[in-house]
Amino acid sequence: MTETRHNWTKEEVMEVYNTPLMELLYQAATVHRENHNPNQVQVSTLLSIKTGGCPEDCGYCPQAARYHTDIEGNDLMSVQQVKAQALRAKSSGSSRVCMGAAWRNVKDGPEFDNVLEMVRTINKLDMEVCCTLGMITENQAQRLAEAGLYAYNHNLDTSEDYYKDVISTRAFQDRLDTIDNVRKTNVTVCSGGIIGMGEQLEDRAGMLVALASLSPQPESTPINALVPVEGTPMEEFEKVSIWEMVRMVATTRIILPNTQVRLSAGRTDMSREGQAMCFFAGANSIFAGDKLLTTPNPDVNEDMKMFKLLGLQPMKPFAKKAQPESVEAQYSKFKEQGEKPKWSRPGHKIERNEEAKAKAKL
């Protein structure tokens, strides 16, 4: 096992990122082999259990209510609908279901109770369950853990410095606080970010430094490439090149040796050769299914053909950590407290977010 370092500096990370490519790939693949089976890739299915209408202003997100995008919103799915989708995901090779709700934060009440029931239902299908529901309190994290949640996703998105150019409705520290609340339970942490949002290399490095400094480091780290969506403040941004993706994946692998590095949004723009290079560089997880919340994703059959071609196998569930038990609602030790996570409102103006909002009103 490679020793985990929590004290990386931005300069060191940038030096890794800029290593001549063949050398970088070799170093990353070596770290990968020391800590993971290079022929196994974990497959997750992302389900949007509640789409659109989010009050936040994340500049990349088509689900923010303030921007005009073509996203069709929907209310919270039912437990039965989620179970049917999870069974379908399981039969096509997924070991994990990640449920995403476009909420700023979790609110105690019937909707959250339904989410807890979804967690129990999927865990009983012997699949790993992950949720991404926005900010949560410690009590809410405990209740999710008790229902059998395996992982909670809350991305840092980018560096603390550049974060101020992407989101104005909550602060970077609020994200760290939610991750901290998850860490008080036995639920694993999934946290990563997005490249291609106009950030500098320094910001990519800054994000990795922030992730590396978490102790323990996240068990899984999604690396997304921005998918520019019409109507969002980043609609005209250029897509990142495969070379940037490969370098980012390889650098993440070296900085976070034990994490599962996940290829996430932007995979439709990557060729099989490009994806193969990312797997070689240390990516060992993908999202399956034709949609990633709201953006397109490769067809699952295409993914399975690619796996066959490359000799990759989908990882079995609970390969890294034992399956949690699900406690039924009536036996819960935790009562709802009706409290909201505390968050700050930096409230500064981000010009491109304001422009997109004004355009949406026209």
β-strands 220-225, 193-195 pairing: parallel
**Residue at token pair 């946290």:** 191
Q: Which stretch binds ligand SF4 (CB under 6 A): 57-65, 182-190, 317-325, 353-361?
A: 57-65
Query: How many CB atoms lie under 10 A from the CB of residue 317?
Result: 19
Whether 58 sits among the annotated catalytic residues: the reply is yes
Q: Which residues contact 358 (CB under 8 A, 6 or more apart)?
A: none
Helices (H), the chain: 10-17, 21-35, 79-91, 110-124, 138-147, 160-163, 172-183, 201-213, 242-255, 272-280, 300-310, 351-361
Tell me the per-residue interface mask from 6 to 45 with ligand SF4, x by CB under 6 A, - otherwise.
Answer: ----------------------------------------
Question: In this chain, which stretch among 15-23, 51-59, 273-281, 336-344 interacts with ligand SF4, using CB under 6 A?
Answer: 51-59
Instruction: Indicate if 278 belongs to the active site.
Output: no
Q: 313-314 and 40-50: which strand pairing? A: parallel
Establish if 165 lies at the interface with ligand SF4 (CB under 6 A).
no
Residue type, 105: N
What's the DSSP call for residue 105?
Answer: B
* 272 vs 269: CA distance, rounded Å: 10
Count of other CB atoms within 10 angstroms of residue 336: 14
Looking at the Cβ atoms of 206 and 233, the one nearer to ligand SF4 is: 233
- Residue 311 and residue 129 in contact, taking contact as beta carbons nearer than 8 Å: no
Residue span binding ligand SF4 (CB under 6 A) among the ranges 26-34, 55-63, 211-219, 325-333: 55-63
User: By C-beta, is 58 or 131 nearer to ligand SF4?
Assistant: 58
> Of 25, 130, 134, 315, which lies in the binding site for ligand SF4, with binding defined by CB under 6 A?
134
Q: Considering only CA atoms, which of 121, 128, 151 is closest in space to residue 326?
A: 121
175: annotated active-site residue: no
Residue of 120, 175, 190, 253 marked catalytic = 190
Residue 79 touches ligand SF4, criterion: CB under 6 A:
no
Which of 58, 79, 315, 356 is close enough to bind ligand SF4 by CB under 6 A?
A: 58
Q: How far is the CB of 72 from ligand SF4 (least distance, A)?
A: 14
Tell me whether residue 131 is one of the annotated catalytic residues. no
- Residues 85-104, one symbol each (x = binds ligand SF4 by CB under 6 A, - = not), give -----------------x-x
Based on the residue annotation, tell me whether 262 is a catalytic residue of this protein.
Answer: yes
**Is residue 227 a contact residue for ligand SF4 (CB under 6 A)?**
no
d(CA 158, CA 204): 6
Catalytic residue among 120, 253, 262, 267: 262
- Residues in contact with ligand SF4 by CB under 6 A are 54, 56, 58, 61, 63-64, 102, 104, 134
Active-site positions read 54, 58, 61, 98, 130, 190, 262
